[in-house]
Amino acid sequence: MLYFDYAATSPMKKEALDVYIEAARCFSGNTSSPHDEGTRASLLLEQCRTEIASLAGVLKDGIYFTGSGTEGNILALLSFARNKPKKHIITGMAEHTSVHSAMTILQSEGFNITKLPLNEYGVVTVESVKAAICSDTALISIQHINPEIGTIQPVEQIAVEAKKRGILFHTDCVQSFGKVPLHALHADAMTFSAHKIGGPKGCGAVYLSPFQSVSPVFPGLMHEKGIRGGTVDTPAIAAFAEAAKTAASLEKLWTLRHLLKEKLNGSSIKWIEGNDSNQYPGVIGMCIPGIEGQLVMLALNAQNMYISTGSACDASSATGMKAALAMGMTIEEARQFFRLSFGPETTESEVIKLAQALLHVAAQAVML
């Protein structure tokens, strides 16, 4: 098996799995229980909260554990937006499905939503955000790393512009947490996920600035200070914190990316990417003219090579990928899109085999 779909999910790291098993065996109490076993579990939970906050460069008091990045995005956006009198929100056309879901809910509640496109380099520009701001803007939500083409959005500058105007800023860091530094973001809300970095599925976290007032989506709940209901999964959170300690080497990912580009040089395969300065090397968007991305995926699947046609959350979409469409591609062009993504275990020999398989598929497309 050759796995090139780390942006969808990463295999669980051995260290994280070991911690999960140990925590499940030794910390069985409910963190909200007042007895000694509950206290032991609660102490472990708070240690993990401290570790996640430190890695994200945020205050521990703002970290709330969730069941996924999707849940974190929805909780952050609904909680913040509903607590403001203003009714205008700015986001991107290529945001994760969970962000669009929250926007649909808020639009039904009377909010006006502005969705900004990506430019030819795959980013939402600071200028377009500034131009969209109006006197009624309450919230801006722009992802950190696009999950389909890996472009890094200028969220540091957007956060500065938002702060100048007293506008709340949320950024989806599901694809960036544990991979690139986050300490300079200065966002009011950030979202993280465990399984993108070798932790367990069904576990994530959201940061909500303790300096901002928050209205819980489901009032009256007890866990996580009322922000999120349900007994927390202490073993999963412990494994999440462990997985976050070791990131894939960016230097290695750049080496793999450059190797693939070298092997594909001169072919018809089109790269959809930004400049090196605003590109995460582990995620690669591509098109082979004349063949749908779904067919590319199936051809490689037959060789036990696993890629994606985009975000796994959009696998049933028939309208192409959001990033491709946000960059101005037609639906027909966007349907040719597919995504490769590398991780810590990806090797150069695997990338060479991948390149050979892609060249074979591209050659067949030319013959059709």
Query: What sign results for the dihedral spanned by CA atoms 283, 287, 292, 298?
Result: negative
Q: How many residues does the chain have?
A: 368
Alpha-helix runs per DSSP H in the chain: 14-26, 36-56, 69-81, 97-108, 126-132, 155-164, 234-243, 250-264, 293-301, 322-326, 331-334, 348-367
State in Å, rounded, how far the first CA of the chain is from the last one: 28
Q: Give Cα 285 distance to the centre of its chain.
A: 15
Mark whether 48 is an active-site residue: no
Cα angle 271, 148, 333; round to 5: 55
- Tally of helices (H runs) and strands (E runs) in the chain: 12, 12
**DSSP string of 256-293, one letter each residue:** HHHHHHHHHTTSSPEEE---GGGB-TTEEEEEBTTB-H
Among the listed residues 26, 173, 203, 313, the single catalytic one is 313
Residues 6+ apart with CB under 8 A from 228: 64, 65, 66, 71, 75, 221
Phi, psi of 133 (to 5 degrees): -70, 135
| Cβ atoms of residues 186 and 180 within 8 Å | no
Please identify every residue annotated as catalytic.
313
